[in-house]
């Protein structure tokens, strides 16, 4: 079951510059940065109520974020939904014809279990499903 929106992720090419923009111009509360090697990204998180904004900078030449930036430029990359049980959510989505990019959960930022669904399956929006760690 989907509980809430966990975060909205935005692809950027210069994390430091964007951190300044989000703190100084928008005045959002900065929560810190994290390198997620498995996803080949460096992230920065901000708090807006109980939703987070995640900035994503590519960590390497084969990062999906680099490909996104080259093809589409900076902008909204994905919406992340918090779920109560990721394995169950993956099965439910597949049973409803959604093409899962991850058939098994993997580890994302903050050690959470995550799975992505293909944007072509969900209205052109890349969707992440996340079950929070302890
Ligand atoms: N949102 C919407 N559409 C997207 C998209 C995105 N983020 N990324 C790609 N697309 C579109 C492409 O533009 C393309 O559209 P067209 O066919 O109309 O041109 C289509 O989806 C398929 O693109 P593709 O070239 O076949 O596939 P890519 O190699 O670009 O891969 C995707 C796209 C989503 C499958 C890949 O990026 C992926 O597996 N993502 C999941 C993992 C990820 O994004 N990790 C980074 C974030 C990690 C984190 O938050 O910690």
Dump pLDDT digits (tens) for 75-134: 999 999 999 999 999 999 999 999 999 999 998 777 899 999 999 999 999 999 999 987
Q: What pLDDT shows up at residue 26?
A: 97
Name the pTM for this structure: 0.95
Helix, strand or coil, per DSSP, at residue 24: helix
Q: What pLDDT shows up at residue 85?
A: 97
* 97 HSE (CA, 13 A, CB side): 4
Separation of alpha carbons 96 and 78, rounded Å: 20
Beta strands in 12-120 (DSSP E): 29-36, 41-48, 51-58, 75-83, 106-107, 113-117
Dump pLDDT digits (tens) for 10-34: 999 999 999 999 999 999 999 999 9
Residues in the ligand 1 pocket, defined by CB under 6 Å: 9, 36, 39, 41, 56, 64-65, 67-68, 71, 77-78, 101, 108-109, 116, 118-119, 124-126
């Amino acid at each position: 079951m989907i509980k809430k929106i966990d975060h909205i992720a935005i692809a950027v090419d210069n994390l430091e510059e964007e951190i300044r923009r989000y703190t100084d111009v928008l005045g959002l509360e900065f929560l810190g940065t994290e390198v997620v090697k498995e996803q080949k990204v460096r992230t920065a998180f901000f708090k807006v109520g109980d939703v987070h904004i995640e900035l994503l900078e590519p960590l390497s030449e084969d990062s999906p974020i680099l490909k996104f930036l080259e093809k589409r430029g900076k902008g909204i990359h994905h919406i992340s939904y918090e779920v109560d049980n990721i394995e169950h959510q993956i099965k439910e989505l597949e049973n409803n014809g959604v093409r899962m990019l991850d058939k098994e959960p993997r580890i994302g930022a903050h050690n959470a279990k995550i799975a992505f669904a293909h944007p072509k399956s969900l209205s052109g929006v890349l969707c992440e499903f996340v079950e929070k760690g302890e």
